[in-house]
Amino acid sequence: MLPSAAILLVLTQTPDVLTLKAVGDVMLGTSQPEGYLPPDGGAGVLADVAPLLAQADLTFMNLEGPLCDQGSSTKCKKPGRTCYAFRTPTSYAAHLAQAGLDLASTANNHAGDFGEACRRQTEATLDALGVTWSGPVGTVGSRTVHGKKLALLAFHTSASCNDVNDVPNAVKLVKAAKATHDLVVVSFHGGKEGTNAQHVPKGTERFLGENRGDLRAFTHAVVDAGAALVLGHGPHVLRGMEVYKGRLIAYSLGNFATYGRFDLSGPLAVTVVLEVKLSLADGAFMGGALVPVRQVGQGVPQLDPKGAGVQLVRRLSNEDFGQAAVRVADDGTLSSPPAK
Give the CATH number, domain containing residue 330. 3.60.21.10
Average pLDDT of the chain is 93
Residue 281 lies in a domain: yes
Instruction: Give pLDDT, residue 80.
Output: 53
Mean pLDDT on 201-227? 97
CA distance 249 to 231: 6
pLDDT band of 190, cuts 50, 70, 90: very high
State the average pLDDT over residues 48-75: 92
Contact yes or no for 233/10 (Cβ under 8 A):
no
Q: Report if residue 94 sits inside a domain.
A: yes
Q: Which residue has the higher pLDDT, 8 or 53?
A: 53
From CA 124, how far away is CA 131, in angstroms rounded? 10
Residue 192 has pLDDT above 50, yes or no: yes
Spatial CA neighbour of 208 closest among 219, 193, 196: 193
Q: Is residue 66 included in any domain, yes or no? A: yes
Q: Which residues form the domain of 307?
A: 4-335
- Residue 340 in any domain: the answer is no
Provide the pLDDT confidence category of residue 118 given band limits of 50, 70 and 90.
very high
Average pLDDT on 74-90 reads 77
Q: Identify which of 180, 279, 179, 172 has the alpha carbon closest to the alpha carbon of residue 229.
A: 279
pLDDT exceeds 50 at position 143: yes
* Domain assignment present for 161: yes
Could you give the C-alpha distances from 283 to 229, 230, 248, 276, in angstroms and in order?
8, 11, 10, 11
When pLDDT is averaged across residues 96-103 and rounded to a whole number, the result is 95
What pairing do the DSSP bridges indicate for beta strands 247-250 and 255-258? unpaired
* 112 — pLDDT class (breaks 50, 70, 90): confident
Taking the model in full, what pTM does it have?
Answer: 0.94
In this prediction, residue 291 has a pLDDT band, given cuts at 50, 70 and 90, of: very high
Among 76, 61, 53, which Cα is nearest to 106's? 61
Per-residue pLDDT tens digits for 237-253 = 999 999 999 999 999 99
315 neighbors 301 (Cβ within 8 angstroms) = no
Residue 4: per-residue pLDDT: 38
State what percent of residues in the chain have pLDDT above 70: 94
Q: Is the model's pLDDT at 180 over the cut of 90?
A: yes
C-beta neighbour count of 17 within 10 angstroms: 18
pLDDT of residue 78: 63
Assess if residue 169 is contained within a domain: yes
Does any domain span residue 306? Answer: yes
The pLDDT of residue 184: 98
Q: Which of 2-6, 33-37, 55-59, 314-318 has the lowest mean pLDDT?
A: 2-6
**Burial of residue 176, with CB atoms counted within 10 A of its CB: 0-12 exposed, 13-18 middle, 19 or more buried:** middle
What percentage of the chain has pLDDT greater than the value 90? 85
Question: Average of pLDDT values for 109-121?
Answer: 90
Domains: count for the chain: 1
pLDDT given for residue 10 in this prediction = 41
pLDDT band at 34 (very low <50, low <70, confident <90, very high): confident
Pairing mode, strands 285-296 and 210-211: unpaired
In a domain, 134, yes or no: yes
Mean pLDDT of 229-240: 98
